Amino acid sequence: MKLQTVRAVYRDGGLIFADPSQTPEDGEEVVVTFLEKDEQQAWLERDPTQALRGRGRGENLVEQLLESRHQDRHHNEQDPRIL
């Protein structure tokens, strides 16, 4: 199974895909995530930097990122035959 992200607009009971070449074939399962109009408008009107400021406070995100990078480096250095 391969997950893809594509942009589409829901109109008149169907999805209109921004890139027709990425339209799923008949019978393929899709998951739709969307923003309600008031939330969408709020995000469009806000400066992205201001909107994200303060998110994740107290979650030690820098430490988590450094640990994740350390794990990735260790994983990449392993013998490929072991993987």
Beta bridge partners of 10: 15
**Residue 2 included in any domain:** no
**Residue 18 included in any domain:** yes
**Residue 1 included in any domain:** no
**Residue 83 included in any domain:** no
Q: Which range of residues forms the domain containing residue 23?
A: 8-77
Distance CA 56, CA 58 (A): 6
pLDDT 10s digits, 4-32: 788 888 888 888 888 888 888 887 888 88
| Contact call for residues 23 and 41 (beta carbons, < 8 A) | no
- The number of folded domains in the chain is 1
Answering whether pTM is above 0.85, one says: no
**Residue 68 included in any domain:** yes
Residues 30-45 have a mean pLDDT of: 68
